[in-house]
Each structure stands twice: as C-alpha cells, then as structure tokens.
Structure 1
Amino acid sequence: MADKFGNASHSKSVELANAINDVIYEVGLRCIGNGGELKNRFELAIIGYGKNDDKVQSGWEGQLTNKWVVSIKNIFDYPLGQDNDKPIWIQPYATGSTPMTKAFENAKRLCNDWINWGNHKECHPPIIINITDGEATDSGSNFHYLKNEAEQIKRIGTNYGAVNILNIHISSRSGDRVLFPNDISNINDKFAKLLFDISTPLNENMIRLAQQKGYNIQNNAKGYVFNGNATDLINFLNIGTPQ
C-alpha cells in the first residue's frame, strides 16, 4: 500500500484512507432526518492491518480507539480531525504483512455478534468490503484457510439474506481493469481468482447502483474489481453501501 496509486501523486494507502473517510461522511449525510437530526441507521466496523505485524486491529482511533462496531451517530460525534472542512476518521498505514485470514476471522465474529444482538435478525445483512493490494500472508496452502473463513461467513445471515463479501483488488500489474465480472478466466493470477471466488454476487440494489454509475453489469456479476482506479474505488464503496 506504500506504492503510488496509478498516476496519483500519493500512495495507495492514502487514496484508500481518503476514500473510506469520504464514504463514511456520505453515509452519515444519508442518515440526516428532515429535522436535521442524525439517525442511527448504520453501524460500521473498520478492520485494519499493516500497523502491527501479523495482527489485525480496529481502524478507529482517537475517542473510538479499541471499539469495533460503532453506530453512525457515535462515529460523527468523535471524528479524528478535519480535512478540507470535512471530518476524517481513518489514517493511512502501509507497513507489515497481510494477515487477511485473521481479518476475515474477525469479520466473521463481528457479523455473528451483531446479528445475534437485539433485533438484528430483522435487518439488512452485514456487508464485508475487503480492499487489498497484496496476497494474504496467512492463507495456508492453496489459500485453504482463507477460503474456509469466507465460506463460513457466507453461511451467516439475517432473515433478509446472507452476509455479502465484496473485494477490490488494487493490483500492481499492468493491464485492463476488470469491473464486476461474472468470469475472470482471462486473468492469469491465482490471487485474483481467489478473491473473485470468495466474492458474492451483486444483489439487485448493488446492480442498480452500479448501472447508474455507468458500469456494464452482466448476469451473475460478482462484487469484485481487479486493477481498479481511484474512481472505481470510491464507486465500489458506494455500491457496497446500502442506500
């Protein structure tokens, strides 16, 4: 994540942090009622790695340090700072290894805990958005540890459907962008195939949003992007966020 993001003047980690902060802000704006009050319509978790070797941690900092799932109201109550007159919550980090299996294990635990708390069985199922530029360092032979975690997650759900897993692969390889495909047999990259395989199909709402943003969506398109640019990253996060 320390490498430059395409032709941008800054790194992938900076671009990613900026994108996440922008999307959190947009989600918050969508939760403002007619009277100007911020309604608790979303709860978010940020799972990060690259700050401490072989460990995953909550990406929240400041007043939200050590918290995992946080309501949108609490998120807006405790920003980390301001940038261009907008609140920010996430800072970029680009060191250490890529313990992606541990991140998915943590996501599975958070999804289970959230679904089984209160009346969340009657809510929209959780959405996991995984953004990476590197191969998992703890996935085992033929990625079997990571595949197993993803398959377990896909069996978790609410009364409104199963958990969604979306992946954006910020590749360092040259080549065409592959956006929400239903097949990637033309990509000779075993990690790309893994991320495509563990991604879930786009639901009807995601397909509608993707089409509105100009993406050509085929039947059985999956929530996967390969070699996406900065605009694709922002769009992907918006498409993956319930409206």
Structure 2
Amino acid sequence: MNPAIRATRKHPACFVLLIDQSYSMSGAMSGGRGASKADAVADSTNQLLGRLVQRCFVDEEARHFFDIALIGYSDGVGPLLQGPLTGQFLVSPAQMAEAVSRVHTDASGTSWPVWIEPRADGETRMCAAFDLARDLVGSWVARHQDSPAPVVINISDGEATDGGIDDLAQRAAALRQLRTDGGELQLFNIAIASQSETPQYYPDSPNGLPDKYTKALFDISSVLTPRLVEYANHFATAAGRPPLRAGARAFVFNADLAAMVEALSIGSNDPNFGNPR
C-alpha cells in the first residue's frame, strides 16, 4: 500500500455516492427547519458535487482527476444523473460540468449547481445498492491499480428491506476488500434520524446509537485512516467538537445539513485524493 498516492489525470480517484430514496426519506429532517430528509440529502450532495467539480478546473479546463458515480436506491437501484448523462455511472468532472440541470439559490442568497432532485418513495434496496457498487468499483479497480483507494459513501435513514443486518454486513465486507496500490476502499455511512437524537461524528463505538439498524451502519463503516483522522479533526476543532479517538469510524449520525456537507467533504477529500495535479 502507498498512502501517498494522489489523484492525477493519469490515475484518477473514484468516488461513489449511494443515496437512499425510499419513502421514509419524505419525513422531516431532525433540525432541518421543515426540510425533508430527501431535500437535505439532495442539497448536501449537490453542494459536494459542485466542490468536487470546481476542484478539477485548472486554467478554466476541467481535468479528469475523479471518476464520480451517483446511485439511488428505493424499489429499484440505478444511476441518478439525468440529461446527457442519463443511464451513465462513472463520469468525469468535464461531463458533470456540462450536465448541470439548474442553479439553486437558498434564502441566504447562496447558490449551487443542481444535478439531482429530492425523491422519496418505495422500499430500501440497500443490499442491492451495495452489490451494484461492488461490481462498479471492482471493474474500476481492475483498471486503476495505480490510483488512490476508492471511496463509497452511503446515505440512509433506516434498514435495508432486501436483506437483514448480516446480509448487509456481507455486502459491505465485499466492498471493503476492494483495493488499489493506494489502499483499501473506504466505506462511509451517513445515518439520518427523524427524531431529535444526539449527533455523533466519527465515533469509535456504537454506544448511544438508537437502534440495531443504525448500529449496523456503524459496524460496516471503515476505520478512518490516520490521514482522514487528521482531516476530520480539522473540522472538529473548527466546530468546537472534541478530537476523534483511536478507532474512529467513517460514520456520522444525525448531522445537520452543514455537517452532512462536511462529512461528504471528508469522505471525498482524503489527502490521498488531495491537491490533484
């Protein structure tokens, strides 16, 4: 393993987002000031994508530092990008830049590009989403052994409806076995709560999590690498949170919108990815 590997045009990084779009995502986001969980996830994802794409522009040219995939799951599982990218999975920053559907401006006047819209209906085929990610990233890894370790971030508010906890754990284990010369795949989980539960950021233990399904998402999450711990601690200090402890997992529970964007940024800004060239 070579943790110093960085994303380059010759050796791009791989970033895959799995988004729960089941009916339960229509519920109100805890602390979301009336916004649904689906709204909050769409906003945070679009903001993160905007940052990723912007990082790849050098001298007004979109350079191929990343391969990006967005996968939604409810009754079915498939790619989320629309317009010219409909039906496509891994796409380049240049393709993303050409496929913005609109620009959103919030009440404060802050604007960001939009690629995906909120959706909330159907069941939660999370196991199938992990299977698809395993096939997609497995194929990518076979072609990019000299690239940084791939990252998969799963965002969900509940349990899988197409398998039990053990089934999900098996899928996650298969995902985490994928690796490049840059290291083992990093699996992040962002668990969303409807109730006013105490937020947890990169805990080292499932203690205090409200139910067995949330604890299962903690259990399947990767242990943060030392470099990611350093990066996460930077955000923790800025937010007045205590530093992470040994064994911190790539797991966030009940974060507000700003913290969700932070979590997505940490997942996609591993210093192994950082400063692409």
Same topology, TM > 0.5: yes
Q: Which structure is richer in relative contact order (CA contacts within 8 A, separation 6 or more)?
A: 2
Q: What is the aligned partner in structure 2 of residue 204 from structure 1?
A: 226
How far apart, CA to CA, are the structure 1 residues paired with 2:155 and 2:126? 10
C-alpha separation in 1, matches of 2:228 and 2:45: 18
Alpha-carbon displacement from aligned partner over 1:99-148 (angstroms, at most 9, x marks no partner): 0000000000111011112xx100011101000012110123xx222111
Choose from 122, 127, 133 the match for 1:107: 133
> Are 1:144 and 2:166 counterparts?
yes
Residue 73 of structure 2 is aligned with which of 42, 49, 71? 49
Provide the residue aligned with 1:127 in structure 2. Answer: 151
> After the TM superposition, which segments of 4 or more aligned residues of structure 1 sit over 3 Å from their partners?
none
Deviation by residue 1:36-88 (Cα, 9 ceiling, x = unmatched): 211110111011023xx2x1111111111100111111111121222235421
Q: Is the 8 A contact 2:79 2:86 kept in 1?
A: yes
Query: Structure 1 residues 83 and 173 mapped into 2: Cα distance closer, same or farther (>3 Å)?
Result: closer
Q: Matched residues in 1 for 2:264 and 2:209: separation?
A: 23
CA distance in 1, matches of 2:258, 2:179: 30
Q: Is the 8 A contact 2:30 2:195 kept in 1?
A: no
- Give me the whole-angstrom Cα distance separating, in 2, the residues matched to 1:45 and 1:108: 12
Partner of 2:256: 229
Residue identity over aligned pairs, in percent, reads 31
Alpha-carbon deviation of 1:175? 2.4
Cα distance in 1 for partners of 2:60, 2:81 equals 25
**Deviations 1:154-187 (CA, angstroms, capped at 9, x unpaired):** 1111011111100011022332111100012333
- How many matched pairs? 235
Q: Contact conserved, 1:31 with 1:38, CA < 8 A, in 2?
A: yes
Point out where structure 1 has 5 or more consecutive residues left out of the alignment: none
1:167 match: secondary structure: strand
Match of 2:86, as an amino acid?
Answer: T
SS in 2 for 1:48: strand
**Residue equivalent to 1:220:** 247
Residue 37 in 1 paired to residue 58 in 2?
no
Query: TM-score, normalized by length of structure 2?
Result: 0.81
Task: State how far apart, in whole Å, the 2-side matches of 1:18 and 1:132 are.
Answer: 15
SS in 1 for 2:61: coil
Cα root mean square deviation, aligned: 1.4
The answer to which structure has the higher strand fraction is: 2
Label 1:14 to 1:221 Cα distance change in 2 as closer, same or farther (>3 A): same
The aligned counterpart of 1:73 is 94
Q: Kindly state the Cα deviation for residue 188 of structure 1 after the two structures are TM-superposed.
A: 4.5
